[in-house]
Amino acid sequence: MNHNETLDRSRNFRSWLMDKLLMGMSWPEYMRSLVTPFNIVAAIILIVGLPIIALRFLHGLAEVTHASNDYPWGLLLGWGLFGGVPLSATGFVMATAYYIFGFKEYRPLVRLGVLTGFLGYLFAVVYLLVDLGRPWRIYYPMFVGFGTASVLFLVAWHVATYLTVQFLEFSPAILEWLRSGRVRRWATMITIAMTIAGIILSTLHQSALGALFLLAPGKLHPLWYSSYIPHFFLASSIYAALVMVIVVSALCARFLRHRADSYFLDSLDRLTIGLGKGAAICMYVYLVLKLVGVAHDDNWALLSTGYGKWFLVEILGFVLVPALILTLGVKLGKPAIVRIGALYSIIGILVNRLNVSIVAFNWKLPGHLYHIIPPWKEVVIVLTITTIHILIFRWIVSRMPVIRQEPEFEDEPYNL
Amino acid sequence: MSKEVKEKDPILKEPFSRRDFLKTLSIATGSLIVGSAGSASAYRKIKGYRNSYGMLVDLTLCVGCRSCERACNEVNNLPKPDTPFDDATVFERLRRPTAKAYTVVNRYEIEGSGPVYRKIQCNHCNEPACFSACPIHAYTKTPEGAVLYDENRCFGCRYCMIACPFYIPAYDYESALRPRIMKCIFCYPRIKQNRIPACAEACPTGTLTFGRREDLLKLARRRILRNPSRYIDHIYGEHEAGGTSWLYISGVPFKDIGFPEDIPDEPLITQVKGFLSAVPVVFTVWPALFGMCYAAVKHRYKGKREETSRKEGKDEPQ
Ligand code: SF4
Ligand code: SF4
């Protein structure tokens, strides 16, 4: 009797869980729904990429990277850490705007921002795990040795703490998905504290990523090396977050439309314009800041050199032009234009971070531009991890209330 | 000349003071609090040690025989070199220290003065950038002058390699299980046994002079003064990056023989000082600032919400 009851309950639990995981479909239905062009491409990438990641762990970094003593950091960190972290400021920026500054109308985008941020950080850590020489020691800065004068020590602590903070911030969505109302209420109570913790940690480690390079004045090209570099990184991470939310929400509305509710879809155009406006203003401020940086070090003469021209391409072609496109979209009230500008701005952020961490670093070494071309295996690893990132993002958005509200919890306050 | 210093100053006659060393260690490891004032003040505690040893490299005397390379390789049990130590073809390209070689000698063809040889290895900075960079404190600056790396504290981020202004630390990328930083250790075990570093012992031309850094500076100055036509008036390493244990004098400008020249005279950690000291400020000011902001906004909303609910009942889910 008793035994049967347990059996029943576990069977119930199983079917409940399967229902959650398969989104109410049966196995065959679910499998059939997986055969899409996107998934096929993703599968091919994984089939090629995962063995290469395995190679890295079996044979060492030399197998997949340049393994260069002069270029210790390559694409894995340039893309995954330096590019990924500013684009993951979404959680901190959206939560701050909504909870602290009271931009209430952005509510439909807050969760999306937090999820994008959380996964962004999670994957920055994944890239790090692939790139670290001994990844199994990743906790060493927390428990074994404390390089308190090291900016990287700060980054390590902050990224670890902030990852936890973001998980807690996102946990209400998970709990709603699991229909755990009581825990959820408890989890939302700490939102404000978590948001403020997020502001502290984010401002510090976003700027710290730039400050890492302060230690290498002779190696980073003077146009990129500046005592203001922490400010540059922080300022650009804020607009990076705004444009990232524009693009991610647009992609969701396009490809995951059936997971969204009308609350999300109907407000999207209006909010996109609002975000675009904010981003454009930030970008103009950032641009002025960059010019102040050049003036401060009196580097005007360098602008006529080859690197100077590339610098101008970066700040004019990849900051000013996208900012102008955003402005145009806002002025015309055309969300489509804003979205194009936002995508362009994201590319601009990546260009900047790759410039600092790869292109302008070691600029004096002979054959420099040849050395920075990444080996194909490293590129494949980046592609693979990016694919996994997208798949997990989609998995979560498909199941949890991210771009829709869970009817049961709709009326629950978001704390304001 | 090199003999003179060695004899006048036998190694480690008096025991060095461990106090400074322990102090550094306790300060650095004691402040666990993330971004506390500890990070801001730690950088000041790693001053170079006054009685530390150094090495004077007189580049005008080096003939490129690579005896130092061979001695270093043997003493440190490093793997066999790719090209034998008596093969002069290595000079055809410029090399740098690697995971298999703590030191290398390069040749530069300088117009008007024939070939100039330059030995490269860790300079054992007074306030090393590698030390400041490492998040796990894998590096120590010993009172004797050697900058040592502890493999057991390293997770392989390679930030020390990014930070070193002299492009010294090399990484053992080939290893999957035990990759580590490899760099010159200033023959620390030998120094502890009152012996001089193997390279200096092996050098047949007197290019390398081991001694107290202070004395070596005087010696270098004396040489330049006595023979101004032979040397340019610059002791590389006296001030570079806050001063290094290894010092160089040369007959040709240092930039012509590959020495990095845009290194600031202060220790590199001073570049980060401003940023680190802002950290505690953020930790204290931000919560107050944003907490206030939240309170103000909430207050405003409360007022508004009461108003609207009075007017039309609640229909917005806030
Ligand atoms: S030369 Fe480089 S590796 Fe050697 S102590 Fe100085 S910073 Fe460290
Ligand atoms: S590679 Fe190792 S020694 Fe170098 S900074 Fe990273 S943890 Fe420290």
| pLDDT at A412 (0 to 100) | 56
**Residues ≥6 apart with Cβ < 8 Å to A355:** A224, A310, A314
| pLDDT at A191 (0 to 100) | 85
| pLDDT at B24 (0 to 100) | 38
Could you read off the pLDDT of B95-117 as tens digits, one per residue? 999 999 999 999 999 888 789 99
User: Quick check: A72 pLDDT over 50?
Assistant: yes
DSSP string, A95-114: HIIIIIS--GGGHHHHHHHH
CATH for A270:
1.20.1630.10
Q: Does A152 contact B at CB distance below 8 Å?
A: yes
For chain B, how big is the Rg over CA atoms in Å? Answer: 26
Alpha-helical (H) ranges within A178-216 are 181-189, 191-211
**Taking the domains of chain B in order of start, what are their residue ranges?**
18-276
Residues of B in contact with A102 (CB under 8 A): 297-298, 300-301
User: Quick check: A416 pLDDT over 50?
Assistant: no
Extract the tokens encoding A215. 């230690």
Tell which wins on pLDDT, A199 or A145. A199
**What span, in angstroms and rounded, lies between the C-alpha atoms of B261 and B242?**
13
Contact A214 B297 (CB under 8 A): no
Q: Does A99 contact B at CB distance below 8 Å?
A: yes
Nearest C-alpha to atom 2 of ligand 2 is from which residue?
B154
ipTM score for this prediction: 0.90
- Count of CB atoms within 10 A of residue A376's CB? 10
Nearest C-alpha to atom 6 of ligand 1 is from which residue?
B125
**Residues ≥6 apart with Cβ < 8 Å to B258:** B94, B106, B108, B118
| pLDDT at A29 (0 to 100) | 86
Rounded to the nearest integer, the mean pLDDT of chain B is: 82
Residues of B in contact with A65 (CB under 8 A): 173
Mean pLDDT (whole number) for A386-411: 88
Q: Which of B27, B35, B28, B32 is nearest to B285 (CA)?
A: B35
Cβ(B133) – ligand 2 distance below 6 Å: yes
Could you read off the pLDDT of B291-318 as tens digits, one per residue? 888 888 888 877 777 776 666 554 444 4
For the four alpha carbons of A408, A410, A413 and A415, in that order, the dihedral sign comes to: positive
Nearest C-alpha to atom 8 of ligand 1 is from which residue?
B130
Could you read off the pLDDT of B169-192 as tens digits, one per residue? 999 999 989 999 999 999 999 999
Could you read off the pLDDT of A73-116 as tens digits, one per residue? 999 999 999 999 999 999 999 999 998 898 989 999 999 999 99
The angle that helices A107-131 and A262-296 make with each other, rounded to 10 degrees, is 60
φ/ψ region of B112 (left if φ > 0, alpha if ψ in -120 to 50, else beta) reads left
- Ligand 2 test: best mutation among B130, B136, B162, B268, most atoms within 8 Å of CB? B136
User: Quick check: B30 pLDDT over 60?
Assistant: no
Q: Is B224 helix (H, G, I), strand (E, B) or coil?
A: helix
- Domain span at residue A267 reads 36-408
**What span, in angstroms and rounded, lies between the C-alpha atoms of A179 and A160?**
28
| pLDDT at B309 (0 to 100) | 67
Residues of B in contact with A153 (CB under 8 A): 39, 135-136
Cα of A258 to nearest chain B Cα, Å: 22
Count the domains in chain A.
Answer: 1
Q: Which of A246-258 are b and which e, b meaning 16 or more Cβ less than 10 Å from the residue's Cβ? A: bbbbbbbbeebee
Split at pLDDT 50, 70, 90, the class of A329 is very high
Q: Looking at the domain that runs over B18-276, which CATH code has it been given?
A: 3.30.70.20
| pLDDT at A405 (0 to 100) | 85
| pLDDT at B51 (0 to 100) | 84
Contact B39 A154 (CB under 8 A): yes
| pLDDT at A358 (0 to 100) | 94
| pLDDT at B317 (0 to 100) | 45
| CB A286 within 8 Å of CB A326 | no
Which of A125-139, B151-165, B287-301 has the lowest average pLDDT? B287-301
| pLDDT at B33 (0 to 100) | 34
Cβ(B159) – ligand 2 distance below 6 Å: yes
Split at pLDDT 50, 70, 90, the class of A3 is low
Split at pLDDT 50, 70, 90, the class of A346 is very high
**What span, in angstroms and rounded, lies between the C-alpha atoms of A238 and B105?**
48
| pLDDT at B10 (0 to 100) | 39
